[in-house]
Amino acid sequence: MLNDSDIVPECQYKNNSSIINLSQEMKFAKQKYFIFFIGLIIVVILSFNYFFRVDLTSDKRFTIARQTKSLMSQVESPLKVTVYLDGDLNPSFLRLKKSTVQLLDELSVYSKKSIEVNFENPSLAETSTQRDEQYKKLVIRGLNPTTIYERDKEGKSIEKIIFPWLEMTYNGKTVPVNLLKNVRGNSGEQNLNISIENLEFEITDGIRQLVNREVTKIAFIEGHGELSEAETYDVCKSLSRYFQIDRGVLATNAAILDNYKAIIIAKPTLPFSETDKYIIDQYIMNGGRVLWLIDPVRVAKENLSKSGLSPAIELDLNLSDQLFRYGIRINPVLLQDVQCASIPMNIAPANANPQFEPSPWFFSPLLLTSPEHPITRNITVVKSEFCSKIDIVGENSKRDVQFLLITSNNTHVVGTPSTIDLSQTPKPNDKTYFNLGYIPVAAIIEGVFESDFANRMTPAGLTNTLPIKQQSKITRQIIVADGDIIRNETTGKASDSTTIPLGFDRYMNQQFGNKDFVINSVLYLADNDGWMQLRNRTIKLRLLNKQISSSEITFWQFTNVCLPIILLLLFGFIYQIQRKRKFTK
């Protein structure tokens, strides 16, 4: 028989059950927080010993290359960086500045020593005279300004001068870095995007010049009527930042080139001896790299300037068999192209005062650059003069060939021997004359090469000879069928002479990509660490629709500023209601 005291009300059971459930929930919550706390401690301990960063962007724009991380580990002293891209900038240049700062922050993570970044606005001055003085000091140091033109909301034109440069100082040595790339034919947005893509290469290129202690040597071969030191002064001045540059004849020492990373043969005009060919051949067989800049046709330019006539005949350099063995044939022809440089032509009648007008110089094609190879990617067209055609010969699975420079789709081939007559100028729109296109002028060959001296005797008179290597190590060669691509113009004579920058056309007042092409070619030939591959980085250009962004500016301002706040408040309100319902039960 049950007593009244043994009867427990139903509500008491419910209360006890709620207390038990609440106790279990509190116990589970304590366990959960304890596990989270222990996990947090483990993560903190591991972070002291293991370091990693995760790039969640689709184009991996914040990922630093392996070579860059290794380079920054060699920075043993503080690195000071002064950025001159500052002041009142438009959104595009602000994006370039922001990307520069982000990259410097990433580099500082992997650097042994700190990177101090300072910003200077060259346009900030009390008077215009002081501003001009600041501009002048930067220009003297090689930091040339860029003028940008903008329009305000009222349509008023605004001109601004900016300096898209930075300077890096390390152990008392300073190196300037150009942040802005200007590729002819591209829009401003495209050039800025290219500039951002090249930031890692350009900045690490400057750091390598500051940090690198290893002396790498390259050589200009002489003794065959090659271009003089004055004619290659500008490119040598730029290359001297990376290499020790020697010049000289090959003589009789078969091992004379062994210590050189690459050699340059710049527009020879005299035949090569078998001894010289052997030295170059065995240098290649041992892994040497060569930049060939060859003119297969002789043109008397002095006759053109005087009489307007010149013969064009084949130039025998005794290199055809050797280059053919390596897989290249340089055809003794001249190329004319509608896309070309301009020259002043006298259109006045005989015995009248000279009257000059710009005229297309079809024998000076503006060569298109390959967008696929790091040597020529994102550089402007290259100016040539009396260039020729190259062919790839033979089939070799151990070699890879890529064309670097080609003509446009309106090209004409002039055979030799022939006569160049300036009075007989074709019409640019003559499709029957300019009936060819995309003819290769420069190429790079990488892989294994067969020796030109395989199964042959060693030339007499050589010293330090070894058994002939009949097949090369994996190596590289660049062949350009125009020697003038590397030649800079000079004005004056002797001590009064002045060097014109390589690739600059005084008459057209334009800078072409000759210097970038030659420097990148030599850097690629001498590159064993893959630095040039950084020039292949691609960042997708995502542009706003200017028409929509201007006409619907209020909507998009509301969407970007107010909508996130409204959604956050709405989420908080719903969360509080659900929480109240849960604990009320």
- Residue-wise pLDDT for 285-314, tens only, equals 999 999 999 999 999 888 887 888 899 999
Give yes or no for a contact between 227 and 267, defined as CB atoms under 8 angstroms apart. yes
Least confident residue range of 347-351, 396-400, 525-529 = 347-351
If you average pLDDT over residues 474-503, what whole number do you get?
89
407-458 per-position pLDDT tens digit? 999 999 999 999 998 888 899 999 999 999 999 999 999 999 999 999 889 9
Enter the pTM of the model: 0.82
Residues 142 and 285 in one domain: no
Give yes or no for a contact between 384 and 367, defined as CB atoms under 8 angstroms apart. yes
Cis peptide before 417 (omega within 30 of 0): yes
pLDDT of residue 170: 93
Asked, for residue 54, whether it belongs to a domain, the answer is no
Asked, for residue 450, whether it belongs to a domain, the answer is yes
Alpha carbons within 13 angstroms on the beta-carbon side of residue 434 total 22
Highest averaged pLDDT of the listed ranges 106-115, 321-330, 459-468: 321-330
Residue type at 461? G
Alpha carbons within 13 angstroms on the beta-carbon side of residue 164 total 26
Give yes or no for a contact between 219 and 260, defined as CB atoms under 8 angstroms apart. yes
Confidence tier at 1 by pLDDT (50, 70, 90): very low
Q: Which of these, 402, 411, 369, lies nearest to 513 by C-alpha position? A: 369
If you average pLDDT over residues 340-352, what whole number do you get?
78
pLDDT of residue 52: 61
Residues 407 and 555 in one domain: no
441: Cα separation from own chain's centroid = 20
Residues written for the chain? 585
CA-CA distance, 450 to 470, in Å (whole number)? 6
Residue that is last in its domain, among 211, 226, 258: 211
pLDDT at 585 over 70: no
Residues 451 and 559 in one domain: no
Sign of the alpha-carbon torsion through 451, 455, 459, 463: positive
Asked, for residue 2, whether it belongs to a domain, the answer is no
Q: Who has greater pLDDT, 228 or 61?
A: 228
SS (H, E, C) 479-498: EECCHHHHCCCEECCHHHCE
Residues 288 and 167 in one domain: no
Q: Which of these, 289, 319, 257, lies nearest to 473 by C-alpha position? A: 289
CA-CA distance, 28 to 150, in Å (whole number)? 63
pLDDT at 513 over 70: yes
Percent of the chain with pLDDT over 90: 53
Where do we find the tokens 């950025």? 83
pLDDT at 520 over 90: yes
Asked, for residue 75, whether it belongs to a domain, the answer is yes
Number of domains in the chain: 4
Residue that is last in its domain, among 211, 233, 251: 211
pLDDT at 266 over 80: yes
CA-CA distance, 371 to 291, in Å (whole number)? 20
Confidence tier at 350 by pLDDT (50, 70, 90): low
Residues 228 and 309 in one domain: yes
Residue that is last in its domain, among 183, 211, 239: 211
CA-CA distance, 292 to 298, in Å (whole number)? 17
Residues 6+ apart with CB under 8 A from 432: none
Q: What are φ and ψ of residue 261, in 5° steps?
A: -70, -35
If you average pLDDT over residues 356-380, what whole number do you get?
92
Where do we find the tokens 């139903």? 10
Residues 263 and 379 in one domain: yes
Give yes or no for a contact between 83 and 117, defined as CB atoms under 8 angstroms apart. yes
Residues 308 and 325 in one domain: yes
Number of C-beta neighbours around residue 131 at 10 A: 15
Token pair listed for 516: 């970038």
pLDDT of residue 13: 47
Give yes or no for a contact between 440 and 403, defined as CB atoms under 8 angstroms apart. yes
Where do we find the tokens 């604990």? 583
CA-CA distance, 323 to 317, in Å (whole number)? 11
Q: Who has greater pLDDT, 355 or 176?
A: 176
Residues 77 and 12 in one domain: no
Residues 158 and 291 in one domain: no
Asked, for residue 298, whether it belongs to a domain, the answer is yes
Q: Which helix (H) or strand (E) covers residue 265, if one does?
A: strand 262-266
Number of C-beta neighbours around residue 62 at 10 A: 15
pLDDT of residue 580: 79
* Residue 533 DSSP class: G
Residues 222 and 205 in one domain: no
253: Cα separation from own chain's centroid = 37
Token pair listed for 576: 């509080």
Confidence tier at 56 by pLDDT (50, 70, 90): low
pLDDT of residue 2: 47
* Residue 143 DSSP class: -
Q: Which of these, 266, 209, 195, lies nearest to 235 by C-alpha position? A: 266
CA-CA distance, 372 to 444, in Å (whole number)? 12
Residue type at 49? N
What range defines the domain where residue 35 resides?
A: 8-49
Asked, for residue 59, whether it belongs to a domain, the answer is no
Mean pLDDT over each residue of the chain, to the nearest integer: 87
331: Cα separation from own chain's centroid = 30
Q: Which helix (H) or strand (E) covers residue 476, if one does?
A: strand 475-480
CA-CA distance, 250 to 572, in Å (whole number)? 81
Residues 239 and 367 in one domain: yes
Residues 250 and 133 in one domain: no
In sequence order, the β-bridge partners of residue 222 are none
If you average pLDDT over residues 220-232, what whole number do you get?
95
Q: Who has greater pLDDT, 61 or 68?
A: 68
Asked, for residue 541, whether it belongs to a domain, the answer is no
- The rounded radius of gyration (Å) of the Cα atoms in the chain is 33
Number of C-beta neighbours around residue 503 at 10 A: 24
pLDDT of residue 25: 63
